Structure 1
């Protein structure tokens, strides 16, 4: 247990048995290294593979759904199966990542995820029946589930505290880039009845490019430290933070590892159990709030509002996704200058407003293009707040050695709720439409859910901005003893 004293002073002149020696030509050059923001940005951009895969896959099914419905003669339940089968696979992904992310590392787990994604893309493109299609969508979900756990963990563990929120938001930016590329691909492939096959087949191209990029990025320094590979961890930390800060960071990591030897028991202690429950509920709200469903079923919703099915519906959804992209860029500034809690609460409030306007729009039968207004309000608010911050907060909230297990448990519930919502949404809209001749009731339900999320965020979400991962872990440890301050004596929960 005397882990801190195992290597009290690392000999920097010793040889580094590293696979990622990039740009380290001599020890003298190594010692002169200073923090490099571009180096971090480049790594994080590649590592946000999980967000890209999630966005691309979600938008491909969005564009393909009208054609799948026609080709496979799908009912409302069949549409739910086609969409939700990926979410069902994503439930399995986190369970697999309990072994993968901790045993083989964050980077290799992301590579496995990309392989799953590539193989399933080909399977989806060649599907003969809806059940073939659902099976390969399930495999896609496994890959997405693996990536969406390993990517945020990796980014959070690699990023300095001052820019960690912005770097984790890169995952959301990659998500939006994936959405945009998929929408554009869907539009160009939508002029043929067989175009849906090319929509899914096109997923192979970005997958291969991402797999190549993942080969050249380093492993997480925290994962390396947990596995006793301190010299490699120090090298990576030095490239990120500079020599002196790297030594301090490594000492803090080693101290935290000593306190967190039994990771399963750690998560069940009062303070960390509370963190686990908070993280689970927050991520469930991020899936059942309704905005994801508006985006997933965008062409279908626009078609129901009076915009022609197929190509025109896909084209009409492009402004929404472009707006989301702009909001994602703005989110970098907001995350840097405002508190996590303040942004989260404001975001959920405007999402609730968007659902109210959508419900009234459908009740009053406003002109079809007016549907874009509440969709834009909800999607914009979601993208500026809840979408990135749910991942930022959850990736920060767990102790270092238990982060992989904690996030795997959280993502299990996340994708379970996503599966249920994706399956239920077309069934609910069909029921409301047949019973009341409009689907406004669905959005009143989503409004109530957003109000619940608003109250939860205000009461339960701690402020984590500006603190190291070790300080956040110390806060939850202190919280189990009834102390609401971190080791520096700074209260976290109510800080704005």
Structure 2
């Protein structure tokens, strides 16, 4: 590995710390909930709000910061997100009541909403085209590592008095790492060229590309920027007829991703395992740690093969696998009265683990990758932030509704998981008729499709 490749991966690792915080601050509530229920005597609705506050904040953050990323730059918007992560971690950790905890999680969600579009956007714009899929998938890998870390932290502090506070304090550490690290990474060369800062853009490209590729990259990006300046875009262009396919991809990929039930599993797997008959909250948390391990290892598969196999084959594979595993979980709960408790637990935990594997190699990374690739440069910041907001909107309703539905017959008879299965089957049609292959194409090549 030469120095330039090493530098690219170092930059990606620093930026992807935003994904680690994304995963940690969304996943930690899963293992904190048993303690929080005892501390604050939570109703199902209050529990839904504590979980979903991050998602409401995420929706606001992704919507509000799109224009800021185009104005301030990709680097500075990530620094702003890191500052909000630090503040949100402190407020959540010291919260004296459920309402203050909700406020802290709203702040964390605001920061997560920012990084959920700004980090993939930054990585896509700074990465060489032949490894763009791999580098953007670093963000999803970091999310899974953050989720795993939150489960491990939860297991470590589960038996301590007010252990949930220590869980939230742990999120302060990666927030500080992101804040410090972002001061040392370069700005996106595409953003610099769009602002007329050509010499700075050339310096960045010279740091991350081989010498014979710098001029070629400069020429391609400058041509795209000139075209953007001749045809200034605004939010209305995203809804124009020629961008209908990118718009549908941005909405559809996150609708299927979220309504496949991923965050019902990520946020509530401890409860799912309790419903399946695991005896104690500690045992359920141990099983949940397994979810984090499978999630992380499976995402490594996506990092390794996404650029090699292409987007659509990976998507087809993942959708078929998630449909089969979700229907297995649904069947386990539906027939729970006629099968042994041991078989119920095996089907539940096995179904969840297999579901996580297929999701993590496909729908997980592809959502963030596709929205960072398919939009023209002149509206990429706004359009990517809007795509991210779809994620948070759908995520909010899935996460808010799960504890409420779980308290009804839909929870006991597996109906929730049949709903998720139906959405995944719809996703096969979406993959066939809407998604197109972007493997090996530069961002400028993709943009030419919409001109």
TM-score, normalised to structure 1's length? Answer: 0.86
Determine if contact 2:329/2:347 at 8 Å carries over to the other structure. Answer: no
Cα distance in 1 for residues equivalent to 2:188 and 2:43:
46
Determine if contact 1:260/1:266 at 8 Å carries over to the other structure. Answer: no
Indicate the residue corresponding to 1:488 in structure 2.
Answer: none
Q: Cα offset for 1:35?
A: 7.5
- Is 1:414 matched with 2:391? yes
1:89-148 C-alpha deviation (Å, 9 max, x unpaired): 011101221232111111111111111111111111111221111111111100000111
2:65 counterpart SS class: helix
Match of residue 62, structure 1, among 6, 30, 36: 30
Higher helix share: 2
Match of residue 313, structure 1, among 284, 289, 293: 284
1:352-411 C-alpha deviation (Å, 9 max, x unpaired): 111100001112223324311110111000001110112111110011221111111111
Determine if contact 2:307/2:440 at 8 Å carries over to the other structure. Answer: no
Cα distance in 2 for residues equivalent to 1:227 and 1:35:
28
| 1:70-85 correspondence to structure 2 within 5 Å | 70-85=38-53
Q: Cα offset for 1:273?
A: 3.5
Determine if contact 1:66/1:309 at 8 Å carries over to the other structure. Answer: no
Q: Cα offset for 1:269?
A: 3.5
Determine if contact 1:429/1:439 at 8 Å carries over to the other structure. Answer: no
Indicate the residue corresponding to 2:72 in structure 1.
Answer: 104
Cα distance in 2 for residues equivalent to 1:122 and 1:331:
34
1:259-312 C-alpha deviation (Å, 9 max, x unpaired): 223121543432224312321221222112112211211111111111134322
Indicate the residue corresponding to 2:339 in structure 1.
Answer: none
Match of residue 344, structure 2, among 360, 367, 370: 367
Q: Cα offset for 1:462?
A: 0.8
Q: Mind listing any 5+ residue stretches in structure 2 that lack a counterpart? A: 337-342
2:449 counterpart SS class: helix
| Residues 266-275 or 93-102, more deviating | 266-275
- Is 1:343 matched with 2:292? no
Cα distance in 2 for residues equivalent to 1:348 and 1:51:
23
Alignment CA distance shift 1:439-1:38 (3 Å): farther
- Is 1:263 matched with 2:233? yes
Cα distance in 2 for residues equivalent to 1:448 and 1:370:
19
Cα distance in 1 for residues equivalent to 2:379 and 2:249:
15
Cα distance in 1 for residues equivalent to 2:99 and 2:307:
45
TM-score, normalised to structure 2's length? Answer: 0.95
1:441-488 C-alpha deviation (Å, 9 max, x unpaired): 0000000010111111111001001000000000122xxxxxxxxxxx
- Is 1:254 matched with 2:222? yes
Match of residue 301, structure 1, among 258, 272, 276: 272
| Residues 163-172 or 334-343, more deviating | 334-343
1:325-360 C-alpha deviation (Å, 9 max, x unpaired): 211111122213202011111101111111100001
| 1:76-475 correspondence to structure 2 within 5 Å | 76-261=44-229, 262-264=232-234, 266-365=237-336, 366-432=343-409, 438-475=412-449
Determine if contact 1:123/1:133 at 8 Å carries over to the other structure. Answer: yes
Q: Cα offset for 1:165?
A: 0.3
Cα distance in 1 for residues equivalent to 2:323 and 2:159:
36
Question: How many pairs does the alignment contain?
Answer: 441
1:215-270 C-alpha deviation (Å, 9 max, x unpaired): 11101001111111111111111222222311111111111122223121543432
In terms of Rg, which structure is larger?
Answer: 1
1:356 counterpart SS class: helix
Determine if contact 2:263/2:399 at 8 Å carries over to the other structure. Answer: no
